[in-house]
Amino acid sequence: MDLKRMFICSAVCIIVFSLTMVFTYRYSVPTSAVIDTKRDKTVVVLDAGHGGEDGGAVSESGVIESDLNLKFTKKLKAILEINGFNTKMTRSDEGDLADKSLKTIAERKKSDMYKRLDIYNSEISNVAISIHQNMFPAISCKGSQVFFSGRVPIAEKLANNITTAIKEDLQQKNIRESKPAGGNIFLLDNARVPAVIVECGFLSNEDEVKTLCDVNYQKKLSFSIFKGFMNTEF
């Protein structure tokens, strides 16, 4: 689906209420979500993982996770905003949030993570979606996986709905289920709002790297994440 056409469709839906059902049918986006009735008051924190001196995973072909995370996050931001939601990016360029005066990489990383958490838990924030890419020694691994914060019950539903949308739209053979953070993902374990991490795919699988770098695929996957969000009653 061409994103430009999708944007035009969704813009028309916002203006002309009578067309909402057409949009719903066409893109399977329900209009019943509670959050849907107060779009203009909803702020979705969008967190492109890594950045700055922490590039995250790097594929054998040289694709850097932090760059890819930002590309997906910007597309998701555009889709949310055209549909009337507010967004807050933790970072909108290649840089990180770290306090640069700190001496060690470990200290700067910690400061970066705490600053992201402050944004997740800020007064304006209603929900947080973080975007990452996966890496695994077995290069055959591929497909998306979503992790959720165990502290806020609705996060599991959000994660499951995003997983379902991605599988239905793009990855029918993906059998991976969403998983709780389980005490080892700092941001999810400490978020006070519903928070999920979407691992879009594996940078250890070169076939998937090609797919992940495809701009149309980035748009489609971002739209599936949006669908999962819309299917969740907050």
Q: Map residues 187-206 to x or -, x wherever contact with Zn ion holds by CB under 5 A.
A: --------------------
> In the complex with Zn ion, which residue's Cβ is closer, 42 or 149?
149
Helix intervals (H) in the chain: 3-15, 20-27, 65-82, 105-120, 154-169, 186-190, 206-213, 215-230
- Span from 42-50, 112-120, 145-153, 211-219 in contact with Zn ion (CB under 5 A): 42-50
* Torsion sign (Cα): 63, 66, 68, 71: negative
The span from the CA of 94 to the CA of 73, in Å, is 12
Name the residue with tokens 């949308």: 165
By beta-carbon distance, which residue lies closest to Zn ion? 132
The residues with which 88 forms a beta bridge, in sequence order, are 45
- Span from 124-132, 159-167, 176-184, 206-214 in contact with Zn ion (CB under 5 A): 124-132
> In the complex with Zn ion, which residue's Cβ is closer, 77 or 132?
132
Q: In this chain, which of 51, 56, 194, 228 binds Zn ion, going by CB under 5 A?
A: 56
Number of shown-chain residues binding Zn ion (CB under 5 A): 3
Tell me if 51 contacts Zn ion by CB under 5 A: no
The span from the CA of 42 to the CA of 167, in Å, is 26
- For residues 201 and 218, is the Cβ–Cβ distance under 8 A? no
- Span from 118-126, 128-136, 190-198, 202-210 in contact with Zn ion (CB under 5 A): 128-136
Tell me if 227 contacts Zn ion by CB under 5 A: no
Q: In this chain, which of 77, 88, 132, 142 binds Zn ion, going by CB under 5 A?
A: 132
> In the complex with Zn ion, which residue's Cβ is closer, 3 or 57?
57
Percentages of the chain per state (helix, strand, coil), in multiples of 5: 45, 15, 35
Amino acid (one-letter) located at 36: D
Tell me if 49 contacts Zn ion by CB under 5 A: yes
Q: Which residues bind Zn ion (CB under 5 A)?
A: 49, 56, 132
